[in-house]
């Protein structure tokens, strides 16, 4: 079974600064996908960024980028130029390829962006 660990229950950052959220996972699979989802106070889950394990290049979406270290089984999320609207719970998630597409979520990190 896969496990996903987010070691930072809560974090805070000043507006316009950069913050990195940590995520590690444990799997024996070689082919899989990793995701970061954001859950703002509205509780709507929003996909932030996605990474295929076979790709060495780190995924980037505007102010959001990841540092994917496959050998270390690490998948951190960097948020640059933090905005007040980034305040939310962030969940790291793992999905095995070709296996029902189930997501395994980490425990989440609550991020507060301060003005």
Partner 1 sequence: GAVVSQHPSRVICKSGTSVKIECRSLDFQATTMFWYRQFPKQSLMLMATSNEGSKATYEQGVEKDKFLINHASLTLSTLTVTSAHPEDSSFYICSARDGRGALNIQYFGAGTRLSVL
Summarize as ranges the residues that interact with partner 1 (CB under 8 A).
Answer: 33, 35, 37, 42-47, 50, 91, 95, 97, 100-103, 105-108, 110
Smallest distance from partner 1 to CB 33, Å = 6
CB of 16 to partner 1, least distance (A): 27
CA distance 7 to 109: 8
State the Cα–Cα distance between residues 98 and 113, nearest whole angstrom. Answer: 37
Please identify, using beta-carbon distances, which residue of 80 and 104 lies nearer to partner 1: 104
Residue ranges of E strands in 6-99: 10-14, 19-21, 24-26, 32-39, 46-52, 60-61, 64-69, 74-79, 88-96
Of 16 and 97, which CB lies nearer to partner 1 in the complex structure? Answer: 97
Copy the structure tokens of residue 89. Answer: 């719970």
Q: Least distance (Å) from partner 1 to the CB of residue 39?
A: 9
């Amino acid at each position: 079974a896969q496990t996903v660990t987010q070691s930072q229950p809560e974090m805070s950052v000043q507006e316009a600064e950069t913050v990195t959220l940590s995520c590690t996972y444990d799997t024996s699979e070689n082919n899989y996908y990793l995701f970061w989802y954001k859950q703002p106070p509205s509780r709507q889950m929003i996909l932030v960024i996605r990474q295929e394990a076979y790709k060495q290049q780190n995924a980037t979406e505007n102010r959001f980028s990841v540092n994917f270290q496959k050998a270390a089984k690490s998948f951190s999320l960097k948020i640059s130029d933090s905005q007040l609207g980034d305040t939310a719970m962030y969940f790291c998630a793992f999905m095995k390829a070709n296996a029902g597409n189930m997501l395994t979520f980490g425990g989440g990190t609550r991020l507060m962006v301060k003005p």
